[in-house]
A and B are shown apart, each in its own frame.
Chain A
Amino acid sequence: MKKILTGNESAAWGARLSKAKVVAAYPITPQTSIIETIASFIANGEMDARYIRVESEHSAMAACIAAENTGVRTFTATSAHGLALMHEVLMWASGARLPIVMSVVNRAMAPPWSVWTDQLDTMAERDVGWMQVYSENNQEVLDSIIMSYRIGERHHILLPSMVIEDAFILSHTAEAVDIPEQKKVDDFIGEFEPAFKLDPDEPAGFGSLIMPEGPYMEFRYKMALAMEDAKREIEKAVEEYNETFGRNYAPFVDEYRTEDADAIMLVLGTIGSTAKDVVDAMRKEGKKVGVARVRYFRPFPTEEIRRIAKSTNMLGVVDRSYSFGPGADLYAETKSVLYSHTDVPVKDYVIGLGGRDVTPEVLRKLFDDMLKIANEGVVDKEIEWVGLHGDERWS
């Protein structure tokens, strides 16, 4: 059944179809309509879940952690400052190996105040042990929530997931979304079988103190292994989901006309969707460009990015965030995994911060710049901020 849904309504449907049993959340623009929609599902008897109102995002995550520890599936949602406020407990959730699923609506951090999209909020949480999957349309938002439960809940994985969508561009944009049949979703995810849980009959404590000579490092190493193992589970889940629900997702990187491209744009989120139109237009003019939209940032698609980089003459990384380090996040990590594997030129384009619109016109200029670099083999400037006021090269 297809319905016209916003990204946020799609996220709420994802939680509903996945039969989350506890939802604890605190409102923040532009996430609020996710939990409003879920609240109305529960109030109307369409979703059998307990909705917990809390006084902050920190408490929302704490409530999800406690609930998940009792052995039920949980869901929450947040954005920007709300996600930052959760920071401490995000690491508790992953360290406690609780496969919570959370929608994050990418919103810029203040000041200056902005409710519009960029990816600094989730990039700042890349090291907390959560999986991160980014979406290009509302269908992917809904589907990724269902897949995230399935992947995270495997007993050899047990990691939480952030399902990420761009503020307004998806969260408040309505598109036709196919809502999968409940029965098929049930079969795909299966009943939640916690690997361990709080049980009054078998009292236990979780998250105890470990002395330096104890297995603290070993627990962390197990998490690192689980994050790597998750790649196999993601592949399996995506393959089965595609088959069951008639989709066409790539597990890690959605490649569009990259096979013979002189230059490939590597990007996260909705910019990748607009870029596909630009690729089609430029291909008609004989310009061989392609786009590789990274879906999973955690686990990081190391092998895929190496293969893509080796297949082309230039890799342009488009970042809708900046990390005040050696370039923005996708760029820095891409360079890191390419080092000693290929010396294909790589350039970072920082764009669209604070929700500044990313149009086909500006993307075309990026592609032209990339083709020039591909042709000359020289990166003029490693990190380029695109479209600053007064800078007419990109306008």
Chain B
Amino acid sequence: MPIILPEEPTPIAKVPSTENKTGGWRTFRPIIDYEKCIRCYICWKFCPDTAIDFAAPEKHPAPKDALKRFDTVEINYDYCKGCGICANECPANAIELVLEQNVGGEEE
């Protein structure tokens, strides 16, 4: 077989970093309790991997009427590395860290 050389003269990344799904690194999974969540978005601000996204209010309905018109948040487990900063920062203690093994489906 002939020598295979790269096409480009130097490495040029054309694959967006979103292709690198870092969720597999997690030991613990943060899980949001939407009953407790006060829609403050502090978790969204602090997430170092921007793995927390906004979602429409009706996606996870808030228990209190006063909160129902606000967007809610969702953790994107494709990228969340389980650092736990969101759970640490959450003023309502609405995020729990659960051992991935106990969430199930680990060794399929």
Interface residue? A2 (CB, 8 A): no
**Contact between chains at B1 and A112 (CB < 8 Å):** no
The answer on a CB contact under 8 Å between B3 and A112 is no
* Secondary structure class of chain B's binding surface, majority of residues: loop
Asked if B3 and A111 make an inter-chain contact with CB atoms under 8 angstroms apart, the answer reads: no
**Smallest CB–CB gap between B61 and chain A, Å?**
47
Q: Please indicate the chain B residues that have their CB under 8 angstroms from the CB of A111 in the complex.
A: 10-11
CB of A391 within 8 A of chain B? yes
Within 8 Å of chain A (Cβ to Cβ): is B4? Answer: yes
Contact residues in B for A390 (Cβ distance below 8 Å)? 1-4
Q: How far is the CA of A389 from the CA of B10 in the complex (A)?
A: 16
How many inter-chain residue pairs (CB < 8 Å) link A and B?
18
A interface SS class? loop
Asked if A391 contacts B3 (CB within 8 A), the reply is: yes
**A380 on the B face (CB < 8 A):** no
Q: Which residues 1-28 in B have Cβ within 8 Å of A in the complex? A: 1-5, 10-11
Whether a CB of chain B sits under 8 angstroms from the CB of A187 is: no
Q: How many residues of B contact A (CB 8 A)?
A: 7
A389 to chain B, nearest CB (A): 4
Proximity string of chain A (110-154) to chain B, C-beta cutoff 8 Å, 1 when within and 0 when not? 011000000000000000000000000000000000000000000
Which of A112, A389, A391, A392 sits near B11, CB closer than 8 Å? A112
Instruction: Report A-chain residues with C-beta under 8 Å of the C-beta of B11.
Output: 111-112
Q: Which residues on the B side are within 8 Å of A388 (C-beta)?
A: 3-5
Contacts of A112 in B (CB 8 A): 10-11
For residue A392, give the distance in angstroms from its CB to the closest CB of chain B.
Answer: 6
Give the complex CA separation of A389 and B5 in angstroms. Answer: 7
* Mask: chain A, 366-395; 1 = CB below 8 Å from B; 0 = not: 000000000000000000000011111000
Distance in angstroms between the alpha carbons of A288 and B64 in the assembled complex: 85
B5 partner residues in chain A, CB cutoff 8 A = 388-389
Contacts of A392 in B (CB 8 A): 1
CA distance A391 to B1 in the complex (A): 6
Residues of A within 8 A of B1 (CB): 390-392
Closest to A111 in B: B10
Give A301 to B75 CA distance when docked, in angstroms: 63
For B1, give the chain A residue with the smallest CB separation.
A390
In the bound complex, how far is the Cα of B3 from the Cα of A389, in angstroms?
A: 6
> Chain B's nearest CB lies how many Å from the CB of A108?
13
> A-contacting residues of B (Cβ < 8 Å)?
1-5, 10-11
Given A389-B3, A390-B2, A391-B2, output 11 extra A-B contacts at Cβ < 8 Å: A111-B10, A111-B11, A112-B10, A112-B11, A388-B3, A388-B5, A389-B4, A389-B5, A390-B3, A391-B1, A391-B3
Closest 6 CB pairs of A and B: A390-B4, A389-B4, A112-B11, A388-B3, A390-B1, A390-B3
